[in-house]
Amino acid sequence: MKTEAEIKELVRKKYSEIALQDKATNESSCCGAGGCSTEVYNIMTDDYTDLNGYNPDADLGLGCGLPTQFALIKKGDVVIDLGSGAGNDCFVARAEAGENGKIIGIDFTDAMISKARNNAETLGFNNVEFRQGDIEHMPVTSNSADVVVSNCVLNLVPNKDQVFKEIFRVLKPGGHFSISDVVLVGKLPDKLKNAAEMYAGCVSGAIQKETYLELIQINGFKDMRIQKEKPIVIPDDILQNYLKAEELYEFKSGNTGIFSISVFAVKPKQTTACVPGGGCC
């Protein structure tokens, strides 16, 4: 079992490589992580191209949903994107928040930050900035954001509970998040769960859907709802890299499911007690 530090370094290295790949390469793999399939295999099957603010140079094909589509962003909002990559969701968020809004993308990979900043400069966006940092310890002031979005990133983070604490901290009272992520129903085979490539590819780092939703609730968020849910099907020619024929059959015929969910929740306007992540305890 890898340590949290080892997992983070794995993700950092892999996503540094991904930043230098083109979208077509990333779309033929699991979140760009490799293991190319002869079938069409991209966790994100949602199409950004009709959304205002979409920029193809910022779209690396790494997501698993369209969180900005559901995020209820208003003009003038301060929006934080966790794991902002090349800036795709930030630029879509800017189209919603307008010139008076402020968009902050956070990513801990040098190459991604560089790529995103170059994209923002090319587009002439002065109200979109990219900060290098760990989303378990965001370089953002408490109670400063109206909206937090994230697209297929929390599954890569070892300590998901800490991320939700940080989201609660940086949101203003009454602020909300819309996050697309990968979750599990049932037990993932150990050979998949322990595969480094599959971790960087957004699958083996996923946790149980029930546990994921519980983390949101115990960290003080209210009005939680799933905005969209879809199954993720991993093609056989990728699974065969990790599972023998009988193991593959057992996995596909069992009750295990891999899903992309987009989930929404609100930080209460007032809290009557100390809430973990709220800065009072």
* pLDDT class of 234 with cuts at 50, 70, 90: confident
User: For residue 129, what is the domain's CATH number?
Assistant: 3.40.50.150
Q: Is residue 274 one of the residues assigned to a domain?
A: no
pTM score: 0.84
Q: Is residue 231 one of the residues assigned to a domain?
A: yes
Residue 9: enclosing H or E segment and its boundaries? Answer: helix 4-18
Average pLDDT over residues 112-119: 94
User: By percentage, how much of the chain surpasses pLDDT 90?
Assistant: 48
DSSP 31-88: TT-S---SS---S-----TTSTT--GGG--S--SS-HHHHS---TT-EEEEES-TTSH
Q: Is residue 65 one of the residues assigned to a domain?
A: yes
Q: Is residue 273 one of the residues assigned to a domain?
A: no
pLDDT score, position 271 = 60
Q: Is residue 247 one of the residues assigned to a domain?
A: no
pLDDT digits (tens, 9 = 90+) for 182-198: 898 988 888 777 665 66
φ, ψ of residue 106 to 5 degrees: the values are -120, 130
Compute the C-alpha angle 9/30/4, nearest 5°.
25
Total tally of structural domains belonging to the chain: 1
* pLDDT class of 101 with cuts at 50, 70, 90: very high
Q: Is the pLDDT of residue 45 over 60?
A: no
Q: Is the pLDDT of residue 276 over 60?
A: no
Give the span between the Cα atoms of 27 and 184, in whole angstroms.
21
* pLDDT class of 125 with cuts at 50, 70, 90: very high
Q: Is residue 272 one of the residues assigned to a domain?
A: no
pLDDT score, position 92 = 95
Q: Is residue 248 one of the residues assigned to a domain?
A: no
Average pLDDT over residues 79-83: 97
Give the span between the Cα atoms of 175 and 180, in whole angstroms.
17
What's the whole-number average pLDDT of the chain? 83
Average pLDDT over residues 63-84: 93
Residue 134 has what DSSP assignment?
B
Q: Is residue 276 one of the residues assigned to a domain?
A: no
Structural domain that includes position 213: 4-241+255-266
| Bridge partners of residue 147, in order along the sequence | 79, 176
pLDDT score, position 266 = 98
Q: Report which of residues 64 and 195 the model is more confident about.
A: 64
